[in-house]
Amino acid sequence: MYRLFVAIDLPGSVRVQLADLGRELDAVRLVPPDQLHLTLRFIGNADDECFQRIKDSLATVTSPPFTLALAGVGCFPSPRRPRVIWAGITPDERLALLQRAVEKAVAAAGIPPEERPFSPHITLARLKEAIPAGFLAFQSRHGGFSAEPFTVEEFLLYSSTLTAGGALHRREASYRLTG
């Protein structure tokens, strides 16, 4: 059984910036720098047959390479109850088009559509206990955060194994953007 998601990896320089940003947070579980990514679609559990359908269907996605930039910080579900702290993505229609194409490919493989709207972000940390004052101070200091733009040339299919120390991600397939 596989626990799958589709993502865009970040360049090393952006990961370093995000890791440095996250180190300022107290009482959180930071995402390891090598696992920082932009999720296009969380799929969930899939058996071998479904996994192969998903891999094949994602290979049909076409998109030209494009540039992304990170901007701002925020949290889910709300500043009064922060559970996930994230860095934002500057809105980009090309990212939205790629995400919709991925969603269609996953649906063609037999996976029910995602009901929540796409909210592009990079998860920096998770909190077991909501600490609103700590997050508000962090947001005040880093609300204007930005990272150097980078070119997206591929997206990836990952599997994720949950462990006591956090999730372990494994690259299952990569898909080049062309055109």
Q: Does the annotation count 37 as an active-site position?
A: yes
CA distances from 106 to 21, 22, 52 (A): 33, 32, 11
Q: How many residues comprise the chain?
A: 179
**Residue tagged active-site, from 4, 8, 18, 37:** 37
Residues 6+ positions from 160 with CB-CB distance below 8 Å = 3, 4, 5, 167, 168, 169, 170
Tell me how far apart the alpha carbons of residues 84 and 125 are, in angstroms, rounded to a whole number: 6
Catalytic residue among 121, 122, 147, 169: 121
Measure the CA dihedral 40/68/84/98, to 10°.
-10
**Residue 121 is a catalytic residue:** yes
> Catalytic positions, please?
37, 121
